[in-house]
Amino acid sequence: APGSAMLDGEPPKELPKGVVIGPDGKPCRTCTSSAAWKQMLKQKQPSSTKPSSSPTFPPTATATGVAAATASTINTFDRADCPPDVEQLGRSSWTLLHSITATYPRNPPVSLQQETRAFVTAFSKLYPCWTCAEDFQAWLKDDRNAPKVSSREEFGRWMCEAHNAVNVKLGKERFDCDRWEERWRTGWKD
C-alpha cells in the first residue's frame, strides 16, 4: 500500500526536520507532516530509482525491493487514499470532536456525562499521533482543563479551548470560542 514501504525498511540515518520517530523506533506517519515524510522518502531513495517527472498510476512496486517500492511511494504520495499525515488526521479528528459537541444534548443525563468524560480520556490515550496524545494527556491532567460536559454549550466551549491549546502550541491563532457553534452547528450568521 502507498506509504507503507518506508515503515518496513530501515529509516535513513539523518532524518529531515519534522519527522517524528514512533515508540517502535520507526518513523511515525501519523505524527509527521506529508512534506517532511516525502523529504525522508527522497533521502532514502537511491539516485537510480528517483521518480520521473510524470508519476505512474497505479503504483508499480515489485520484487525489485524497498528502493523501487519507495520510488512508487513517492509517485503515489499525493493520492487521496493514502494513510493520513499529522495534519489530515488532526483536521478529521477535530471535525469529529466538534461535531460531537454540536449534537451533544443541551441537558445530558448524568450517565452520558460520565460516558463523555470516559470518551475524552480514552481518545487522549488512543490518538494515533503519540506525541500529540502525550501532550493532550498532560493538558487534560491540569484540573482547570478537566472536560466540562454538563451541557452542549459547556462541552462545545471546552472543546474549543482544547483545540485552542493545540493551536497555541503550534503557533497558530486562537479561535474565537464565542463562535464555536456558528462554525460547527448553525453555520455562519454573516
Residues that bind ligand FAD (CB under 6 A): 86-87, 90-91, 93-94, 98, 127, 131-132, 135-136, 160, 163-164, 166-167, 170, 175, 180, 183
Task: Specify the residue, 67 or 130, whose C-beta has the smaller distance to ligand FAD.
Answer: 130
Question: What SS3 state is found at 85?
Answer: coil
Contact 79, 34 (CB under 8 A): no
Task: Specify the residue, 77 or 175, whose C-beta has the smaller distance to ligand FAD.
Answer: 175
**Least distance from ligand FAD to the Cβ atom of residue 69, Å:** 27
**Least distance from ligand FAD to the Cβ atom of residue 18, Å:** 9
Task: Specify the residue, 104 or 136, whose C-beta has the smaller distance to ligand FAD.
Answer: 136
CA distance 190 to 109: 34
**Least distance from ligand FAD to the Cβ atom of residue 150, Å:** 19
How many helices and strands in the chain, by DSSP H and E? 8, 0
Cell numbers placing 109:
443525563
Task: Specify the residue, 115 or 134, whose C-beta has the smaller distance to ligand FAD.
Answer: 134
| Residue whose beta carbon is closest to ligand FAD | 90
Task: Specify the residue, 91 or 141, whose C-beta has the smaller distance to ligand FAD.
Answer: 91
**Least distance from ligand FAD to the Cβ atom of residue 161, Å:** 7
Q: What share of the chain is helix, strand, coil (3-state, %, to 5)?
A: 55, 0, 40
Cβ neighbors of 18 (< 8 A, separation 6 or more) are: 32, 33, 35, 36
**Least distance from ligand FAD to the Cβ atom of residue 81, Å:** 19
Listed in sequence order, the DSSP H helices in 104-170 are: 110-126, 130-141, 152-169
